[in-house]
Each structure stands twice: as C-alpha cells, then as structure tokens.
Amino acid sequence: MPSKLPKLVMIFIFFTTSANAWRPWANQMFEGSKRFEGSSELVDMKYHMGPVLTDENITIYPIWYGKWGKSQKMIIRDFINSISAVNNKAPSVSGWWKTVQLYTDQTGANISRNVFLGHDKNDRFYSQGKSLTRLTVQKVIKNAVNSRSKPLPINPKTGVYLLLTSDDVYVQDFCQGACGFHYFTFPSIVGYTLPYAWIGNSAKLCPGVCAYPFAVPNFMPKLRSVKSPNDDVGVDGMISVIAHELAEVATNPLDNAWFAGSDPVFPVEIADLCEGIYGTGGGGSYTGQMLNGVDGATYNMHGIRRRFLVQWVWNHMVNYCTGPNALDQ
C-alpha cells in the first residue's frame, strides 16, 4: 500500500499508520549509518505465508474510468506489455521486473515472469461519480466484471484488476496520502476476492506530488522538474505508480505475504521501501542517477516503443533497492 507524502509528514506516517510513502522524501528515515539505495539493516522484509502470484502468467485487466485519450492508453499498455518483453534495450522494464521475480511463496515458486495485458473495460460515464471512496472503487470493479456487455473475466488467482482514473477524478486520499493503492475486493460487494490496484492521473489535482519529478510540489520551490519521456506529465507519472502497485500486488496480493513491519493493516511492502529511488546512489531526497535522452527527457528504462521512469524495488536477497541494471541481461 503506497502513497506519497512530504518528508516530515512521511516520517510520522511511516511509523504510525503505514506503508504510506512519498517519492523523493521516502527514504529519509533510513539515512543512518549506511545510505545506499535505501539499504538498511532495520528493514525486516518478511514472508507471512500467504499466496503470491506465481502462476505461469499474470493477467492485467485495465479499467479506464472517466475520459482517456488513445495516446494515454497506449503509453500505459506499452508499459504493461514491456514487463515481459524480451527484446528491449537494457536497462529494460523486464530487467526491472526481475527483482520482483526473486520473491517466492512457501513452495519456493517464484513470482511469474510473464505479465500480460488482458481484456479491458471503459467506464466512460463515471458510473460512481467523480469522487470515489475505497468502497465505491470496488463498485466500479463490480460493474466491470458483471457488465452485460463484455464483462471482464473473473480471475481471482492470476488476474489483477487495474483501475485507472482520469485527471478529473478524485479518489479517497488522493494527493494527501496516496497516488495509488492496491487491495482485494470483498465478496460482499463484488462477489469475489479479486486483487486490484487503483492509480490516479494527478495532472490536474497534484502533479507535483504524484507525478514527481516531472512536476514539483509548490511547497518546494527550489526543486526543478524534469521533462517526461512520453510528453504526458500525468500519465508518465502514473507509470511509476502502476509499477509500484503491480510489484506489490504480485508479492502481497491478499495482504498476508511479503511485507515489512508487524502490522498487516499497514504493511510496508517491497515498493514502499524504494519510493523516490530511480537509480544508483538514490536515497534521501536524491533520486539517484537517471538517464537523459537527446530530446532532454529523463527516464531510467526502455520498454516497447518507449522509455519510462520507474522507481526501484526492494531486493530482499541483498537488503537494498535494485533496478534493471542489477539483473538485466
């Protein structure tokens, strides 16, 4: 369960309420003895015996809520398709996913290598309005799997339902505590227990918060934003949050598998620990080394047709955050 809050708020939240973390400031509390890509002996990433997504394939079902442009959908689809693509230039999105694949269940089965795009669904007319709560989010998913025309498949074992809200939609805690979150649906609302994630387009509401570093927060006037790789600040900012949530859904789909801390109500998951880290040396308020294209865009990995900027994830084998360079080959 992620999110993003400024440093001071963050430290408070981290220890009191949860997994909430914010991009550039998230790892500040670990900058004690040895600060290296978030490394810390204090982090106790543990397996709590629950299921993780280890089947041959993981299927992602996007639900496009509100107004979405074709080119916006294309950026997100390309990113998801890049996760198991084989021929992309390194550092690649598939190289990044290899850190996630290091996690296993109790039988020793690894997280799936294959992440595929399944059917998707449009909710163009804001079926639950323009302000969603954690409960109405589940109603959106319910509609998508119960729809009379082309419902999404019910796939509790290997499916991940990805609710993507357009830039005119507010979701509970958006901008104040979260840029996205993942959880599972309740049978009493949806009829099934389905792992899902929500990610919002922050372009209008809080790009400085949820699309950092493509936009910077107003309260930090000294920070400069960087150019986004696909010319869409909101969607380029969503990519890293989508990656964050998918890494966590895969390793902790029912909130009883991989997380640090002792409280499953506020788990600190594998992406929470690396928020704001995009490259070597990252930690504290430093993003780490990123790449710059000839067009001036900032990114850190290649995917199908495009480049992306994606945060790193916690590697429990070495106890620090790793990115595509570590295992890409």
Ligand X SMILES: *[C@@H]1O[C@H](CO)[C@@H](O)[C@H](O)[C@H]1NC(C)=O
Is 174 or 320 the residue whose CB approaches ligand X more closely? 320
| Residue span binding ligand X (CB under 6 A) among the ranges 81-89, 97-105, 174-182, 265-273 | 97-105
Q: Show the tokens assigned to 192.
A: 């099934």
Is 115 or 210 the residue whose CB approaches ligand X more closely? 115
Q: Show the tokens assigned to 190.
A: 């949806």
Which ranges of the chain would DSSP assign to H, the alpha helix?
7-16, 70-82, 93-101, 134-146, 187-190, 207-210, 233-251, 324-327
Is 56 or 295 the residue whose CB approaches ligand X more closely? 56
Does 104 engage in binding with ligand X (CB under 6 A)? yes
For the chain, helix (H) and strand (E) counts, in that order, are: 8, 16
Does 84 engage in binding with ligand X (CB under 6 A)? no
Kindly state the smallest distance separating residue 103's Cβ from ligand X, in Å: 7
Size of the site for ligand X (CB under 6 A): 7
Size of the chain in residues: 329
Is 232 or 328 the residue whose CB approaches ligand X more closely? 328
Of the candidates 6, 50, 57, 85, which one interacts with ligand X according to CB under 6 A? 57
Kindly state the smallest distance separating residue 45's Cβ from ligand X, in Å: 12
Q: How many CB atoms lie under 10 A from the CB of residue 71? A: 11
Q: Could you give the C-alpha distances from 200 to 1, 203, 285, 303, in angstroms and in order?
A: 14, 9, 23, 22
Kindly state the smallest distance separating residue 58's Cβ from ligand X, in Å: 10
| Residue span binding ligand X (CB under 6 A) among the ranges 38-46, 96-104, 141-149, 258-266 | 96-104
Does 285 engage in binding with ligand X (CB under 6 A)? no
Q: Show the tokens assigned to 283.
A: 């930690």
Of the candidates 32, 33, 56, 221, which one interacts with ligand X according to CB under 6 A? 56
Of the candidates 102, 140, 162, 190, which one interacts with ligand X according to CB under 6 A? 102
Does 133 engage in binding with ligand X (CB under 6 A)? no
Query: Quick check: 63 and 121 in contact, CB under 8 A?
Result: yes
| Residue span binding ligand X (CB under 6 A) among the ranges 10-18, 99-107, 183-191, 195-203 | 99-107
Query: Quick check: 114 and 158 in contact, CB under 8 A?
Result: no
Q: Could you give the C-alpha distances from 37 to 134, 154, 184, 310, 320, in angstroms and in order?
A: 32, 38, 30, 14, 6
Does 110 engage in binding with ligand X (CB under 6 A)? yes
Is 57 or 122 the residue whose CB approaches ligand X more closely? 57
List of residues 6+ apart from 112 with CB closer than 8 A? 53, 54, 55, 56, 57, 58, 101, 158, 250
Does 101 engage in binding with ligand X (CB under 6 A)? yes
Residues within the interface to ligand X (CB under 6 A)? 56-57, 101-102, 104, 110, 114
